[in-house]
Amino acid sequence: MYSLCSWDNESLYIHPDGKPSFALLSTLRFWAVPKTSRKSVVHLVYSGNRLSTESEVVAMRWLITKCRTALEVLQTTAPEDCKLLNILNKFQDNHKFPEIKEMPPPLASELCAFIEKNKNVVSEGICSMSCVARRSIERWKLATLWRFLYKQILCSCIIHCSAVIYYLGVDR
């Protein structure tokens, strides 16, 4: 697909609200057109026009599939990441982790890895935080927040593409 477009790869992205960039949408629309018809519609693609209902649906379904695949590959879900962010925020307030038994397995394994790495600061669930451990938690929170927002963007894109397909009257 990259060979079909004249856009640089940095232009092919999904906005935070889930809508594909102009370049990505144009490339998908162009890709969805049969090869024999591409030469005659290239000017329409670059002007931002929808070429046909069929090609728009193909492009949206392709994007939905890619977003779902990306979400499935990730080890945690968005709700789990949100829960981990809440745990880390509470931990920073009272320096005490919740019971690991109460957590979903991916979160428990992340927490166990952190405790193992910083075992000299944890005793009986209460932590005396060194500067290094505090920075480590801040980085962990930042990584988790990035992961959570990335998943939100992918979910928003799935919702947007599904709405476009519905609006076109295909799945009614």
CA dist 35 and 18 (Å) reads 28
Q: What's the Cα-to-Cα distance from 4 to each of 32, 71, 110, rounded to whole Å? A: 11, 26, 41
pLDDT the model gives residue 89: 83
**pLDDT, tens digit (0-9, with 9 covering 90-100), for 76-135:** 899 989 988 888 887 777 666 666 666 667 777 777 777 677 665 555 555 556 677 778
Q: Which helix (H) or strand (E) holds 122?
A: strand 122-123
User: 12, 24 in Cβ contact below 8 A?
Assistant: yes
Q: Which two tokens stand for residue 123?
A: 């005793």
Domain residue extents for the chain: 2-74+156-167, 78-152
Please give the residue that has the higher pLDDT: either 8 or 166: 166
CA dist 149 and 7 (Å) reads 25
Question: Whole-prediction pTM value?
Answer: 0.78
Q: For 8-37, what is the mean pLDDT?
A: 86
**pLDDT, tens digit (0-9, with 9 covering 90-100), for 43-73:** 777 777 787 888 899 999 999 999 999 999 9
